[in-house]
Structure 1
Amino acid sequence: MHVVLVLDHAHINGGQAKVALDSALGLSARGHAVTVFAAVGPVDPRLEAAGIRVVCLGQDDIESTKNKLAFAVQAIWNRKASEALADELRRYDPADTLVHVHAFAKSLSPSIGRPIQASGLPCLYTMHEFFLVCPNGGFYDYPAKAICHRTPMSLSCLGTNCDARSYPRKLLRVVRHVGLDHVARLPALFRHVITISELQERVIAPLLPEATVFHRVDNPISVAKAPARSGPPGDFLFVGRISTEKGAPIFAEAARRAGVRPVFVGDGPSAAELKARYPESVMLGWKNAEQVKALMREARALVFPSIWYEGQPLTVYEALAVGCPVIVSDACAGREAVEDGENGFWFRSGDPAALAAHLSRLTDDALADRLSRQAHERYWADPLSVDAHLDRLEEIYERVVREAVGSRRSLAGEQLRRSLPSLHPETPPRALR
């Protein structure tokens, strides 16, 4: 099979790109021909080394652009990406090629829908976030610091400034969503949608066409199996972007109430303010993957207090894999990995008092040790391995391609039937007499 992976970035700049590029490498290693089509470089050198064809347009995203106005036009409808993708897809045979879209909202834009539809190639979409159905991509009202339950593109939605930066940027995203829905018609194009959590499917299903077929595929976790922590449990740990929607202020306040020291790994817009308000907080900044795993392995628990939905937060699974219990907000999909009271705890989203109660409970070393062992054993009983991820992808790819081939044959048969002269049962055509 030939798989064309479409995403914004040709290098790992976050969870979306990591999943897409790791799957590209895995699929190539299994003998599939793989093409990566992306807007933003640089290109991950592992792709070329694996013999993977890469088409990278060398464009900007919102972080790298120096011309905000030009990028606004690109974000709404990236004509260059549409034309380049059309040229690329003409190379492939619909009988054995599939287009898998991972990301478009940071640079490629909804314009990719037109060439995918014109190509006739079977396609599917992985819902890493919510841009396919929500203009701001997160069902989160940033100024209100709360999950948004408005119907996307309703009058209530259009009149609400939910953007993290400004209302004009919200309106730009609304214009892009009009193009997504009514010009590119992405929700109808992607009949097959991969989701990464039960919560995610529950949120988006009412907003997509009834004919949409959902497939659950867990993201792979890159953690080597090793023994769980053997020494005394350490600090409570937060890993990620230090921001309001990630619940960082809730953790800092809860830790103060529980009389424990909060440790933050990462950085973000709330970091300086939190350090000023909670000087007892330890701010370690960003660490590399191996350093983060080492910190998790020694921690008493990972605290994941996110107050928005999330998709499938990899940090939660990475913590469990190294034997670190997780205290997780009940509003986010991370709760699906945690059995309350067994390998961690749930707490009421946005409630520092509820979180503080669990932090206090876990100051008991014996309880922390028990949850640590359970976290390690439960994760490795059914690990989210790269092989399991690829097995599931191949199963779905085969189904999508088989369905597309069957549909083309049915259509061809119907067209042939209509093209033949109508046959009267008592008057066979001359050629048949």
Structure 2
Amino acid sequence: MHAVILTNFATPKGGAEKVAIESARGLAERGVAVTLIHGVDGPADPLLDHSGIRRVSLGLTDVWERPAWRGAIEGIWSREAARRLDAALAALPDRPDVLHLHQWTRSLSPAVFSVLARQRAPVAVTLHDYFLACPNGVYYRFDTAEPCSLRPFSPGCLAASCDPQSRAHKAVRLVRGFVQLAAIFRGFGRRPLALVHVSDGSRARLEPMLAGGPFFHHRIDNPVRVERTAPADPAGGDAVAFVGRFTREKGADLVAQAAHRAGLASLFVGDGPLAEDLR
């Protein structure tokens, strides 16, 4: 069996890349031939150093590192990403049995859906966020600091100034969302796209948003690599721990406030824009 895994980076810039890398290593350790295709050049995670893993870089640039106008255009639809992915898949010595997309917004762009739709192998997408349905990707109102309750792409959504950056960024992401859905419905009209949800809560929100589309829905836990040591004693803990990216939509500030009010120490493992505020 040959599995092709696609993501933006070969290092864990975030949870999506970490899961892609962990799944590549896990499959390789079980005898599956794996090709990991990543959009942006750069160092590779040591977990990818395995005889069963082939790594292919498309040599693209992170859209956030380009001039704003160029990043906006290529974030909506990158012809170059589509061309390079098409060439990389054609050059593989063995035909893939499955193609698994983990992230595409930072370098690959929605253009890769048109390439994946032309492949004979089944295609799966793990939904690490809400970008397949929600323009800002997190289904959160940054203007009101609360979870969103609007239907994506509804009149209320179009008018909402909910983006963490600006209204201009929201406009670009709206266009990208419309283009993305059009590419998926056009490319996968005759065969379904498998969507992998990583939690029950995510599936409960996303599945109704995507009703009527060419999708099969699955619920699969993310792989987590841990060291087996002596069991912890939660009752003996003296701190509240937060592990992840320090952002408001992930509740890092709420954890800090709750720990402070309860008179407990708080431990933060990770990084993000709220790092200084938390300190």
1:205 aligns with 2:215: no
Which residue identity is paired with 2:198? I
User: Residue in 2 aligned with 1:26?
Assistant: 26
Alpha-carbon distance, 1:51 to partner: 4.5
Take 2:48 and 2:269, find their aligned partners in 1: how far apart are those partners?
Answer: 29
Cα 1:226/1:191, change in 2 over 3 Å? same
Take 1:195 and 1:46, find their aligned partners in 2: how far apart are those partners?
Answer: 24
CA distances 1:191-245 after superposition (whole Å, capped 9, x unpaired): 3111111111111111223653222111112112222246953323333333322
Is the Cα contact below 8 Å between 2:58 and 2:85 reproduced in 1? no
Take 2:7 and 2:131, find their aligned partners in 1: how far apart are those partners?
Answer: 13
Cα 1:48/1:258, change in 2 over 3 Å? closer
Is the Cα contact below 8 Å between 1:141 and 1:162 reproduced in 2? yes
What is the aligned-residue RMSD (CA, Å)?
A: 2.6
Alpha-carbon distance, 1:35 to partner: 1.2
Alpha-carbon distance, 1:173 to partner: 0.6
Structure 2 residue runs of 5 or longer lacking an equivalent are none
Cα 1:192/1:239, change in 2 over 3 Å? closer
Alpha-carbon distance, 1:266 to partner: 3.7
Alpha-carbon distance, 1:267 to partner: 3.8
Is the Cα contact below 8 Å between 2:192 and 2:214 reproduced in 1? no
Is the Cα contact below 8 Å between 1:112 and 1:184 reproduced in 2? no
Q: Secondary structure at the match of 2:276?
A: helix
Alpha-carbon distance, 1:274 to partner: 4.4
Take 1:256 and 1:140, find their aligned partners in 2: how far apart are those partners?
Answer: 25
Bigger shift: 18-27 or 224-233? Answer: 224-233
Q: Secondary structure at the match of 2:217?
A: strand
User: Residue in 2 aligned with 1:170?
Assistant: 170
TM alignment of 1:57-68, pairs within 5 A: 57-63=58-64, 65-68=65-68
User: Residue in 1 aligned with 2:229?
Assistant: 226
Take 1:14 and 1:251, find their aligned partners in 2: how far apart are those partners?
Answer: 20
Q: Secondary structure at the match of 1:81?
A: helix
Which residue identity is paired with 2:242? F
Is the Cα contact below 8 Å between 1:125 and 1:194 reproduced in 2? yes
Alpha-carbon distance, 1:126 to partner: 0.9
User: Residue in 2 aligned with 1:55?
Assistant: 56
TM alignment of 1:36-47, pairs within 5 A: 36-44=36-44, 45-47=46-48
Which residue identity is paired with 1:205? E
Cα 1:50/1:13, change in 2 over 3 Å? farther
Cα 1:135/1:32, change in 2 over 3 Å? same
Q: Secondary structure at the match of 1:240?
A: strand
Q: Bigger radius of gyration, 1 or 2?
A: 1
Q: Secondary structure at the match of 2:99?
A: strand
TM alignment of 1:230-241, pairs within 5 A: 232-241=236-245
Cα 1:241/1:20, change in 2 over 3 Å? closer
Is the Cα contact below 8 Å between 1:124 and 1:190 reproduced in 2? no
Q: Secondary structure at the match of 1:254?
A: helix
Displacement over 6 Å in runs of 4+: 92-95
Take 1:94 and 1:35, find their aligned partners in 2: how far apart are those partners?
Answer: 10
Take 1:90 and 1:241, find their aligned partners in 2: how far apart are those partners?
Answer: 36
Task: Indicate the percent of aligned positions where both proteins have the same amino acid.
Answer: 34
Q: Secondary structure at the match of 1:119?
A: coil
Which residue identity is paired with 1:37? I
Q: Which has the higher helix share?
A: 1
Which residue identity is paired with 1:262? S
Cα 1:187/1:143, change in 2 over 3 Å? farther
Take 1:97 and 1:202, find their aligned partners in 2: how far apart are those partners?
Answer: 29
User: What TM-score does the superposition give when structure 2 sets the normalisation length?
Assistant: 0.87
CA distances 1:132-182 after superposition (whole Å, capped 9, x unpaired): 111111111112111111111111111111111111001101111111011
Which residue identity is paired with 1:196? V
Cα 1:272/1:88, change in 2 over 3 Å? closer
* Counterpart selection for 1:216 from 219, 224, 231: 219
Alpha-carbon distance, 1:70 to partner: 1.7
1:75 aligns with 2:75: yes
Cα 1:76/1:234, change in 2 over 3 Å? same
CA distances 1:379-416 after superposition (whole Å, capped 9, x unpaired): xxxxxxxxxxxxxxxxxxxxxxxxxxxxxxxxxxxxxx
User: Residue in 2 aligned with 1:156?
Assistant: 156
Q: Secondary structure at the match of 2:20?
A: helix
TM alignment of 1:254-333, pairs within 5 A: 254-275=258-279
With a CA cutoff of 8 Å and minimum separation of 6, indicate the structure with the bigger relative contact order: 2
TM alignment of 1:385-400, pairs within 5 A: none
Is the Cα contact below 8 Å between 2:240 and 2:255 reproduced in 1? no
Q: Which has the higher strand share?
A: 2
Is the Cα contact below 8 Å between 1:94 and 1:122 reproduced in 2? no
User: Aligned pair count?
Assistant: 274
Structure 1 residue runs of 5 or longer lacking an equivalent are 276-433
Is the Cα contact below 8 Å between 2:32 and 2:52 reproduced in 1? no
Is the Cα contact below 8 Å between 2:76 and 2:179 reproduced in 1? yes
